[in-house]
Amino acid sequence: MEYSPVCHSLYAFWSSPVKKKLILLSIMFLIWVYMLYSCVGYCSTMPSLVVESYRGKETGSAVGKRTESGGRTDLVSRLLAKPQPWEDIESDYEEPSIRTAASRDLLNNELDPDRADDWDEMRAEQQRAPDPSAMSSFSNGSGSKKLPQAIIIGVKKGGTRALLEFLRVHPDIRAVGAEPHFFDRNYDNGLEWYRELMPKTLEGQITMEKTPSYFVTREAPARISAMSRDTKLIVVVRDPVTRAISDYTQTLSKKPDIPSFESLTFKNRTTGLIDTSWSAIQIGIYAKHLDNWLQYFPMDQILFVSGERLISDPAGELGRVQDFLGLKRIITDKHFYFNQTKGFPCLKKAEGSSKPHCLGKTKGRTHPNIDPEVVQRLRDFYRPFNMKFYQMTGRFFGWDD
């Protein structure tokens, strides 16, 4: 065979034991890199995973600790884990035989029975064909999920669903349909879980959600402040007497055998002492709950919307909300018509639809007849709290006329 310097060099290189090991190690390294690259490509096609859990404290700490086990997190359990869905159909009424303050007080985690209403609205939205022009900016997957810059925090049976549906007509507002209940029930799931619930937004758009029970949840102000001190808060308030009756009516529709409104209102009917442990009464003491929020947020970051004016003048109240959010006044009188049957305004065109849209059948229920003496006793009870609330907000709502 003819002598070749190249072949001789290769033979000499391969015959060295040290160099053999270097070559084998190089090959093994390249194979490992290739496998890692393939794994990353595969994992990127899986649903979003919550890798870190942000756990806040009642003191308002902004970020929690990373979950660890022996210094290392189990990779398999992390890959298989899924964000927990939030519960949205629950009951807020204990059996009459268990009439303790803890079991009936929303401040002690009493649950809202009408979350099914939200799902009714969500199903209706899904059945409405999306407007191609409204969805064009999201058709290519553009935008990103952000934590909400504005939250409707209350109150239950005040008109929060109507306000949210009206606001979603605005092209610069993107909102979650159902209530996340993050800052009261699902806080341990972490901020990344919360963020994943939000819709995608483009630059200049506002992300919103609404959960009315936040307003009466003692821990909610500190937790929202820990997320962002710049969060804008919206509270829809309504005559507390009418609100309490509406609250009762809602529960009555679910459980027809509950005690009468009159019997639940008083601790003792003879003495006329109001039972403030009943959530239907407790929620309407707005001044008390607002005190808690003002420890974490200045008044100019909270907007109070009149539930009564949301019915009589929806465009006027929506104008105030749009100004508060720093948005152009796009939602005007032309977006509404008054539905005589339901007794409240409806949208001529809902978000993503060219058809009129009214809130579901669970809204606008007929109230039962309540003893006028009980109604007057409740008005007398709420009057000092209402006056204090007017002073705190600088707005007269006219509930005591």
Whether residue 229 is annotated as binding a ligand: the answer is no
Whether residue 342 is annotated as binding a ligand: the answer is no
Whether residue 365 is annotated as binding a ligand: the answer is yes
Whether residue 70 is annotated as binding a ligand: the answer is no
Whether residue 141 is annotated as binding a ligand: the answer is no
Whether residue 238 is annotated as binding a ligand: the answer is yes
Whether residue 170 is annotated as binding a ligand: the answer is no
Answer yes or no: 20 catalytic: no
Whether residue 320 is annotated as binding a ligand: the answer is no
Q: Which of 20, 65, 156, 157 is catalytic?
A: 157
Whether residue 366 is annotated as binding a ligand: the answer is yes
Whether residue 157 is annotated as binding a ligand: the answer is yes
Residue by residue, what is the 3-state secondary structure of the chain? CCCCHHHHHHHHHHHCHHHHHHHHHHHHHHHHHHHHHHHHHHHCCCCCCCCCCCCCCCCCCCCCCCCCCCCCCCHHHHHHCCCCCCCCCCCCCCCCCCCCHHHHCHHHCCCCCCHHHHHHHHHHHHHCCCCHHHHHHHCCCCCEECCCCEEEEECCCCCHHHHHHHHCCCCCEEECCCCCCCCCCCHHHCHHHHHHHCCEECCCCEEEEECHHHHHCCCHHHHHHHHCCCCEEEEEECCHHHHHHHHHHHHHHHCCCCCCHHHHHEEECCCCEECCCCHHHHCCCHHHHHHHHCCCCCHHHEEEEEHHHHHHCHHHHHHHHHHHCCCCCCCCHHHEEEECCCCEEEECCCCCCCCCECCCCCCCCCCCCCCHHHHHHHHHHHHHHHHHHHHHHCCCCCCCC
Whether residue 349 is annotated as binding a ligand: the answer is no
Whether residue 145 is annotated as binding a ligand: the answer is no
Binding-site sequence positions for 3'-phosphoadenylyl sulfate:
157-161, 238, 246, 363-367
Binding-site sequence positions:
157-161, 238, 246, 363-367
Q: Which residues are catalytic?
A: 157
